[in-house]
Amino acid sequence: MSRIELKHIDKFYGSNHVLRDINLTIEDGDFMTLLGPSGCGKTTTLRVVSGLEKPQNGIILMDGKEIVNAAEASFAPPSKRNLNLVFQSYALWPHMTVFDNVAFGLRIRKENSETIAKKVASALDRMQIGEFAKRYPTELSGGQQQRVAIARAVASSPKLLLLDEPLSNLDAKLRIDMRAELQRLHKDLGTTIIYVTHDQTEALTMSTKIALFKAGELNQVATPAELYNNPIDLEAADFIGNPRINLLDGKAEMVNGQLVVKSDLGGHTFPAEHLTDEEFPKSGEFDCVLAIRPEQIIISTEPVEGAIPVSIYANQPAGSETITTLKAGNDEFLAKEIGQVSYDLDRKVWAIIDQNKINIYNKETTRLIKRAV
């Protein structure tokens, strides 16, 4: 088993405070993805867990044992942490064949040659590079080398696998294949995985949990579904989802224990049980933001009771899906439909929105105050 706990981790590079009080528990068997824009501290977090960097503050526990205690200047060396690491810039040994690169760790552990051959073949097959076993790294493309690096890391069935943007050099098709393989690998080996990416699709598709960073801080730790359905603040809402979530300004007020919201979409009343614990004015009107995923908006060419009259601003059928820009008052928002659907521009249509699927944010604090259910 492998359970990792980070407690109050701070990391500075000079005066640059790149990790700020990070608290994160990765349960045994989790596929935990660290997600966020470039420069937010994801790689640094992996390096701190692996022992390549020492944090200035905080504690890290591995299966309950302290491997880092900054206050006591106690840091277990990387070799004592029972983990394997694959970096974005994978370093293969240039003088060794693919087979020997992948076999290297197994040979160090003195496994017999038959077992080694079997494990190497299985790891290479999984990464769809079995045919390259006898080649040298310089005879492979960047994407192929990257897959060798992953094969090398998984061949020894580590308890903890740290992967830093391992699919970044692959083309779109191969990336989908490799996402499937990593998901299978996680299931088959039961390995705990900490995976770094800035790609929300990778995070949403493979992870059991996602830790969303913003500028050195952890913003939200949740399952992919939670993160997608109930982002904790406007930044999280805007970061997740493709096409991006619709954000519309509105005014909100508590009336008889219910949240009443007005916007260009009209009026909505939300029951108390859908409100979160976040702060917002309990009397008087305040600014809010309505957040609605494009696929939650249904376009009707006929008037429907409760639907919002809108006009077609733009229409982009693209094979498997159609993105349509709708205009209501001064607000523009996107609707996403499956398949190819064509509308004449400026045509009048009706938008059907299930109000339960709307998230409401306090505009001032940017925090979620009413959750979609």
Ligand X SMILES: Nc1ncnc2c1ncn2[C@@H]1O[C@H](COP(=O)(O)OP(=O)(O)O)[C@@H](O)[C@H]1O
Site of interaction with Mg ion (CB under 5 A): 43
Bridge partners, residue 269, by sequence: 260
Q: Using the rule CB under 6 A, give the single segment among 11-19, 71-79, 154-162, 336-344 that binds ligand X.
A: 11-19
Q: Using the rule CB under 6 A, give the single segment among 2-10, 21-29, 38-46, 95-103 that binds ligand X.
A: 38-46
93 binds ligand X (CB under 6 A): no
> What is the spatial distance between Cα 357 and Cα 370, in angstroms, rounded to a whole number?
10
Q: To 10 degrees, what angle do helices 142-155 and 98-108 make? A: 20
Q: Which is nearer to Mg ion, 46 or 349 (CB)?
A: 46
Q: Using the rule CB under 6 A, give the single segment among 37-45, 96-104, 112-120, 329-337 that binds ligand X.
A: 37-45
44 binds ligand X (CB under 6 A): yes
Answer with the entry of ligand X, Mg ion, none that 44 interacts with (C-beta below 5 to 8 A by kind): ligand X
SS3 115: helix
Q: Label residue 212 exposed, middle or buried (CB < 10 Å: 0-12, 13-18, 19+).
A: buried
Q: Using the rule CB under 6 A, give the single segment among 36-44, 54-62, 146-154, 287-295 that binds ligand X.
A: 36-44
Residue 157 near residue 189, CB atoms below 8 Å: yes
Cβ 43 to Mg ion shortest distance, Å: 3
Total of chain residues touching ligand X, rule CB under 6 A: 11
263 binds ligand X (CB under 6 A): no
| Torsion sign over Cα 232, 10, 40, 61 | negative
Q: Which is nearer to ligand X, 168 or 311 (CB)?
A: 168
Q: Which is nearer to ligand X, 32 or 289 (CB)?
A: 32
197 binds ligand X (CB under 6 A): no
38 binds ligand X (CB under 6 A): yes
315 binds ligand X (CB under 6 A): no
**What is the CB neighbour count within 10 angstroms for residue 171?**
10
Cβ 154 to Mg ion shortest distance, Å: 21
Q: Which is nearer to Mg ion, 89 or 356 (CB)?
A: 89
Exposure string over 227-262, b if 16+ CB within 10 A, otherwise e = bbbbbbbbbbbebbbeeebbbbebebbbeeebbebe
* DSSP one-letter code for 5: E
The single-letter code of the amino acid at 132 is F
DSSP result, 155-202? HT--SEEEEESTTTTS-HHHHHHHHHHHHHHHHHH--EEEEEES-HHH
**Interface positions, 14-33, toward ligand X (CB under 6 A):** 16, 18
Torsion on CA atoms 93, 98, 101, 104, rounded to nearest 10:
-150
Residue 57 near residue 231, CB atoms below 8 Å: no
> What is the spatial distance between Cα 151 and Cα 183, in angstroms, rounded to a whole number?
14
Q: Which is nearer to Mg ion, 43 or 315 (CB)?
A: 43
Answer with the entry of Mg ion, ligand X, none that 166 interacts with (C-beta below 5 to 8 A by kind): none
Q: Which is nearer to ligand X, 43 or 101 (CB)?
A: 43
40 binds ligand X (CB under 6 A): yes
Cβ 53 to ligand X shortest distance, Å: 8
Q: Which is nearer to ligand X, 235 or 287 (CB)?
A: 235
43 binds ligand X (CB under 6 A): yes
**Interface positions, 227-256, toward ligand X (CB under 6 A):** none
* DSSP one-letter code for 357: G
User: Sheet harboring 286-292: ordered strands across?
Assistant: 266-270, 258-263, 246-255, 286-292, 359-362, 368-370
> What is the spatial distance between Cα 7 and Cα 30, in angstroms, rounded to a whole number?
18
Q: Which is nearer to ligand X, 197 or 362 (CB)?
A: 197
Q: Using the rule CB under 6 A, give the single segment among 12-20, 100-108, 155-163, 312-320 that binds ligand X.
A: 12-20
Given the rule CB under 6 A, which residues bind ligand X?
Answer: 13, 16, 18, 36, 38-44
